[in-house]
Structure 1
Amino acid sequence: MKDIEQLDRTRSMVIDSIAQNMNLYGITPSAGRLYGLLFFSDKPLTLDEMKDELGMSKTSMSTSVRSLLDLNMVEKVWVKGERKDLYTIKEDWYQCFFDFFTIKWRTAITMNSSAMEKSITNLQKLIDDPNTSAEIRDNASLDIKKLEERLDYYDWQNRLIDSFETKEILNFVPVEKKKD
């Protein structure tokens, strides 16, 4: 009995740590606990099994699973004879990181770049308008320069994300540590 308690305490320590750090991924602590539960499970689990184990409502459980599915951190699996949906974590943590990174960052970059490109267009209209004062034209020109520099940065970020999607990044930071 003492061994089981030690195993459970050790697992709980890891699950709590995962739950506390999931905010880095924009995930709630409850979804982090769910991920930790699935990590230590030796079989895929149903929503009911996860709900019972974690004491969460079915709605909260469903929302957490959906968040983890959207980030490609868990997957739905099929088991012969089982009618309910079953879930398990994706075992390839490197791919999970790549998926998360590309999903989140690509979205942010696209949103920011779009706003900046529209702003540049509007600022250029101000500059081209003969009724715009010299001071406003100067400020608009400075803003365009800043925005264009930021767009160059977003271009670099997009190329970095491309290297994650193609796994070219692994040529520079291999999965295996180099032996000393």
Structure 2
Amino acid sequence: MQGKEQLEKARERVIDAISQNMNLYGVTPSVGRLWGLMYFQDEPMTLDDMKLELGMSKTSMSTSVRSLVELKMVDKVWKKGMRKDLYEVEEDWYQTFIDFFTIKWRSGVNMNVSAIEKSLKELHALLDAHDVNEEIKETARHDIDKLNNALQYYQWLNRLVDSFESHEIFTFVPK
């Protein structure tokens, strides 16, 4: 069929770019390739469909799809008469970006804030201790100041994430 090779080449170029780009954000290239493949499908796909297209094991496909579902980049859909699970991509790139990054950002913020809060308690305990020399206490005060500044940053980052989730960001940066 004339043009089919050019069509496949054009799609493959985009799929490769998506795969490489997603890899920058901690998503494996194979998961990125799967999302790219699914993006160009006009119908939902089964794990068997994906396996045939990418030549990967069904277990690998299942793990990859689960990752994409958790990132809200792929939805499980229902089709009358179909017994196998079907999946399709979220085609709204704005929403995909928001879901992907807010999940990653919230996770990072929570992990770092938890570590900072635990360290702040320990540092404050050092300040209250009677058997700790003044040089250590001064270093602890300095670290407390740094960690409080970091907490302010994470509060700001949470507000930024909130603005993405509420779509308020589009007031400042229109689509």
TM-score, L = length of structure 2 = 0.97
Task: String of CA shifts for 1:61-109, please: whole Å, max 9, x gaps.
Answer: 1111011100000101111111100010011111111111111101111
Which residue of structure 2 aligns with residue 15 of structure 1?
15
Cα distance in 1 for partners of 2:16, 2:111 equals: 33
1:112 match = 112
Amino acid corresponding to residue 163 of structure 2 in structure 1:
S
Number of residue pairs matched by the alignment: 175
Q: 2 CA distance for matches of 1:2 and 1:20?
A: 29
SS of the counterpart of 1:2?
Answer: coil
Partner of 2:134: 134
What is residue 88 of structure 1 aligned with on the other side? 88
Please, which runs of 5 or more residues in structure 1 have no aligned partner?
A: 176-180
Could you tell which deviates more after superposition, 15-24 or 80-89? 15-24
Q: Tell me the equivalent position of 2:79.
A: 79
TM-aligned CA deviation for residue 114 of structure 1: 1.1
**Is residue 2:123 matched to residue 1:123?**
yes
1:13, CA displacement in angstroms? Answer: 1.0
Instruction: Give 2:60's aligned residue.
Output: 60
Distance in 2 of aligned mates of 1:102 and 1:17? 22
Show the counterpart of 1:49: 49
Alpha-carbon separation, structure 2, partners of 1:16 and 1:23: 11
Deviations 1:116-148 (A, max 9, x none): 111111111111111110100000000000000
User: What is the CA-CA distance between 1:2 and the residue it aligns to?
Assistant: 3.2
**Quick one: which amino acid aligns to residue 110 of structure 2?**
T
Separation (CA, whole Å) in 1 of partners of 2:36 and 2:74: 11
Residue in structure 2 matched with residue 36 of structure 1 by the alignment: 36
SS in 1 for 2:88: strand
Q: Distance in 1 between matches of 2:109 and 2:31?
A: 25
Q: TM-score, normalised by structure 1?
A: 0.95
Which residue of 2 is the match for residue 172 of structure 1?
172
Query: What is the deviation of 1:174?
Result: 0.6
5+ residue gaps, structure 2: none
- Stretches of 4+ aligned residues off by more than 3 angstroms: none
